Each structure stands twice: as C-alpha cells, then as structure tokens.
C-alpha cells in the first residue's frame, strides 16, 4: 500500500502552549513529567518510561541528537544543549508555519514571549484567549454579576481587534461540558458563593451556574464576530471528570440557532471520544475537530486509529492538525513528525480502499495539516512563512 508523503508540508499547529524559558532539568524524573498528564509523583518515577509514546520519543530524539537510543543517553545529550537553541532546532526541524498558542497556561512570565518564540522557531505565532482566566480577573474587579457580565461582553467586543485569533474554554476541567442556561437567582447565588471563596481576590472558577452563565456571554460575542471557540474535550489531567468531558454534552449549545456563527473546535480529537466528536463535525456546520498528535501521548497504532475514525466520519474540511505541545519543544516537534506520517498512512489506506483517489488524498493531507486552520482562523498569507 502506498502512503501519502506529507513530509514537505508545513503545519499550522492550531492548538499548543508556550515553551518554558528555563529548559534545565535537575534529574530524569523531572524531565519525564513533561510527558504525562498525571501529577502523581509515582507516575513519572515508575511508569512514564514504559509508555509507547515515551519509548518512541526516546528513539526519535536519539536520532535527532545523534546519541544512543537509551533514555539516559538521550537525557544527557538533551540537557547538554542550550534550551533556547534546542527549541529553535526542534521547531525548525518540525517545519511549522504557524503556532496558535493558548496563553492561559503555563504562566506567561515562565514561557518565551509569543513574538520571541516566533523568532526562535522561525514561524508565525498567534495568541488565543483563555476565557476562564479573563472571567476570574473580571470577577476580582466587579461587585455584581451584572457588572461582570457587562465587563466580559466589553472585553470580548472585538476579539480580533485585540490581537486574538480564537477563544478557548476549559469548562470541561472545571464544571463539565453540559453548559446550561440558569435562572437568574441561581447564577446570582453562584456569584456570591464565588465571592465568598475569593474575597477581594482570585479563586478558581468552579461554580457551575456562574461559569455557564458567563460562557453564554462569550458565545454570543464569538457568534457575532465568527471567532472560533476551542473547547478542551476528553483526555486531560486528573482534574477533568472524563464522564463530563464527552463532547455530546455540548448539544444544547450546538443546537442554538443564534450560535451557528460561532465555529466550535473540539480539541484533542476528543480522545477517547473521537467518534462522537467526528459525528458532531459531520452534523453541525460550525463544528470542527482538532487532531492532536502530541498530547494525549499515544502509541502509533492508537494515533492511526483515531485518525481513521476522524477521517472516516467527518468531512476532511473539518479536521485540523495540532500538537497540544506544552513546556518542552519535544512535544511540538514529535507531533509534527508523527502527525504527517500517521495522516499520510491513513490517507494511503483510503486510496487503497477506494474512498479517495491519489490527488484528493494529497490535497486532504495539506488541508488537515495547514489549510483548514489557515482559513478558519483567518491567518493572512502574507504573515505566514514563505515555505508555507
């Protein structure tokens, strides 16, 4: 079977995070933490090294660094390199056209500033606004729910004018994707409960009727401006209740006719709910499915299988590549390598099976890796790298 060669296609990484300026690691266990979503100390110490993802990473990195394909040797070679220089080398090797960065995490003072990362990586970089952080800031500044709602609507009045290409919500981590409309009294009560915890300052916004109510303000603004909203869906750290991270919970939001102008991007292939996410992308014109090859840290076969599921049910015009890379440049880098390979292999299967002919498969590869995101996020061609 012929696989489709996508090695020369640059990628728009439609969802990733910043890279830490400090790339020093005191020991191997701390470095391993970069490759797990678990915060249990025993995971990095005893188990991460035996995942399929990590073993593939070690061998691929050994090739890149020119050392033995053993964990100790790779770690020694890795920490021997300057962090900034290594970040540049890996991201340039990944052939990235644009990185769309969730600026909500890690903290901005710890990561390379967005424009500097673009210079280091030789690519375009664009920020996205994390809604829950903006909401927590506004909750600290205003004394009534009405004032917070008004301030939020004002902050989101011109999202692109403020320099953001998209909004992002982590409601799945906080209170679940079953985002509802609440009677006024319940939202008010939730607001006062929040203020009791936060005092005059900040608190984690885990107050469901308050968060849901504020999200609806954001959705109305996003729909009016046709600004994409990314939702964390599925796999994440232990904070997430994976039962409530199922994208099917978004149905009441997706059914609202007045929200049809809001492109909804379901992140992380909704893993393990890829079929459900692909189904939503097949039935709602404004739903898109992100295919992330860094996190959720999978074996190669599992990446093949979610890619088959997505391409098997969703229109290819709805699928977009990402890494969800965070903290270390290895994730952004290996994701681009794996993503091209996996997508090329699945498209090759689809040609062999009669779903596609060869030129269609090649075009689909470019659309998923770059063009769909460039269109959806309105990335103007003149600001993208010339190789793109």
Nearest-approach distance from CB 388 to Zn ion, in angstroms = 23
Inter-residue long-range contacts of 132-135, CB under 8 Å, 24+ positions, other chains counted: 132/104, 132/169, 132/170, 132/171, 132/174, 132/205, 132/211, 133/104, 135/205, 135/211, 135/214
User: Of 155, 212, 290, 324, which lies in the binding site for Zn ion, with binding defined by CB under 5 A?
Assistant: 324
Stretch that binds Zn ion, among 73-81, 115-123, 200-208, 317-325 (CB under 5 A): 317-325
End-to-end CA distance of the chain: 28
Nearest-approach distance from CB 162 to Zn ion, in angstroms = 21
Q: Which is nearer to Zn ion, 213 or 274 (CB)?
A: 274
Nearest-approach distance from CB 232 to Zn ion, in angstroms = 7
Q: Which is nearer to Zn ion, 65 or 134 (CB)?
A: 134
* Nearest one of 112, 91, 115, 114 to 11, comparing CA atoms: 91
> Any contact of residue 269 with Zn ion (CB under 5 A)?
no
Nearest-approach distance from CB 102 to Zn ion, in angstroms = 5
Q: Which is nearer to Zn ion, 228 or 344 (CB)?
A: 228
Please give the residue whose beta carbon sits closest to Zn ion in the complex: 324
Q: Which is nearer to Zn ion, 15 or 124 (CB)?
A: 15
- Tokens representing 331? 């994730």
Stretch that binds Zn ion, among 114-122, 218-226, 318-326, 366-374 (CB under 5 A): 318-326
Q: Which is nearer to Zn ion, 62 or 265 (CB)?
A: 265
Q: Which is nearer to Zn ion, 136 or 189 (CB)?
A: 136
Nearest-approach distance from CB 96 to Zn ion, in angstroms = 16
Q: Which is nearer to Zn ion, 58 or 265 (CB)?
A: 265
Nearest-approach distance from CB 212 to Zn ion, in angstroms = 21
Nearest-approach distance from CB 168 to Zn ion, in angstroms = 8
- How many residues in the shown chain lie near Zn ion by CB under 5 A? 1
Nearest-approach distance from CB 99 to Zn ion, in angstroms = 12
248/265 Cα distance (integer angstroms): 13
Nearest-approach distance from CB 322 to Zn ion, in angstroms = 8
Stretch that binds Zn ion, among 51-59, 93-101, 159-167, 323-331 (CB under 5 A): 323-331
280/278 Cα distance (integer angstroms): 5
Stretch that binds Zn ion, among 135-143, 189-197, 297-305, 322-330 (CB under 5 A): 322-330
For Zn ion, the binding residues (CB under 5 A) are 324
């Amino acid at each position: 079977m012929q696989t489709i060669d996508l090695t020369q296609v640059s990628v728009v990484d439609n969802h990733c995070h910043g890279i830490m300026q400090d790339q020093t690691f005191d020991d191997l266990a701390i470095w391993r933490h970069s490759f797990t979503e678990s915060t249990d100390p025993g995971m990095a110490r005893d188990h991460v090294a035996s995942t399929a993802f990590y073993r593939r990473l070690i061998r691929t990195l050994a090739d890149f660094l020119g050392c033995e394909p053993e964990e100790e040797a790779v770690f020694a070679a890795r920490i021997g390199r300057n962090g900034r220089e290594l970040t540049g080398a890996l991201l340039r090797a990944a052939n990235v056209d644009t990185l769309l960065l969730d600026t909500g995490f890690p903290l901005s003072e710890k990561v390379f500033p967005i424009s500097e990362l673009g210079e280091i990586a030789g690519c375009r970089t664009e920020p996205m606004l994390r809604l829950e952080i903006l909401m927590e800031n506004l909750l600290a500044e205003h004394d009534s729910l009405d004032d917070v709602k008004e301030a939020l609507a004002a902050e989101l009045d011109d999202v692109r004018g403020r320099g953001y290409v998209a909004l992002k919500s982590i409601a799945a981590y906080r209170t679940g994707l079953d985002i509802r409309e609440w009677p006024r009294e319940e939202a008010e009560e939730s607001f006062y409960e929040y203020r009791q915890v936060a005092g005059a300052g900040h608190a984690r916004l885990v107050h469901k009727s308050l968060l849901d109510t504020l999200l609806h303000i954001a959705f109305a603004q996003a729909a009016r401006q046709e600004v994409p909203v990314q939702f964390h869906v599925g796999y994440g750290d232990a904070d997430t209740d994976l039962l409530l991270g199922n994208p099917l919970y978004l149905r009441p939001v997706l059914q609202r006719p007045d929200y049809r102008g809001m492109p909804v991007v379901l992140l992380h292939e909704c893993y393990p709910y890829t079929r459900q996410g692909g189904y939503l992308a097949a039935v709602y014109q404004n739903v898109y499915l992100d295919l992330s090859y860094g996190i959720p840290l999978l074996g190669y076969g599992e990446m093949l299988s979610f890619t088959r599921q997505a391409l098997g049910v969703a229109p290819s015009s709805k699928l977009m590549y990402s890494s969800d890379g965070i903290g270390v440049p290895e994730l952004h880098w290996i994701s681009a390598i794996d993503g091209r390979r996996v997508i090329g292999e699945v498209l090759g299967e689809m040609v062999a099976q009669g779903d596609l002919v060869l030129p269609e498969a090649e075009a689909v590869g470019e659309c998923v890796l770059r063009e769909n995101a460039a269109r959806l996020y309105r990335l103007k061609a003149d600001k993208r790298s010339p190789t793109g």
